[in-house]
Amino acid sequence: MADDSSDSCTLCGMRFNLINRRHHCRACGRLTCHACAPRRRLPESWLGPRMHGGGSGRGGGGGSSYAEPARACDECVRRAAADVAQQGVMIETWVRKPPAVQDAVLSNPARE
């Protein structure tokens, strides 16, 4: 979204001025205020292409699945948290299944 395309935060509606500056969510590109998009750590898969290395020496690395802190709006953080929670539930369910069930799932993954 272009910087001049909105004069207020797309989430809370607060008007931008010299003190309340405009920022872009690095996950979705939404134009937000500081309060609605503070710097946070998100899974790299949720961040836009500008945050994936690109020669800047930033964007995770070292085997981490999380990027360096970047601006992310509250809505994207909620979606990322729900996604991570869902993955955790899937992993817990998998770990609790007896080995015979795991073998059956591996031989026919469409049933799971």
How does pLDDT run across 97-112, given as a tens digit for each residue?
445 544 554 455 554 4
CATH number for the domain formed by residue range(s) 3-97: 3.30.40.10
Of the candidates 51, 46, 49, the one whose C-alpha atom is nearest the C-alpha of residue 27 is: 46
99 vs 81, residue with greater confidence: 81
What is residue 51's predicted lDDT score, i.e. its pLDDT?
44
Q: How far is it between the farthest Cα atoms of the chain?
A: 63
Let me know the angle formed at the C-alpha of 52 by 27 and 67, rounded to the nearest 5 degrees: 70
What is residue 22's predicted lDDT score, i.e. its pLDDT?
92
Residue 75, pLDDT above cutoff 80: yes
pLDDT digits (tens, 9 = 90+) for 5-58: 789 999 999 999 999 999 988 888 899 998 998 887 766 666 655 444 443 334
69 vs 34, residue with greater confidence: 34
Of the candidates 8, 30, 11, 12, the one whose C-alpha atom is nearest the C-alpha of residue 21 is: 8
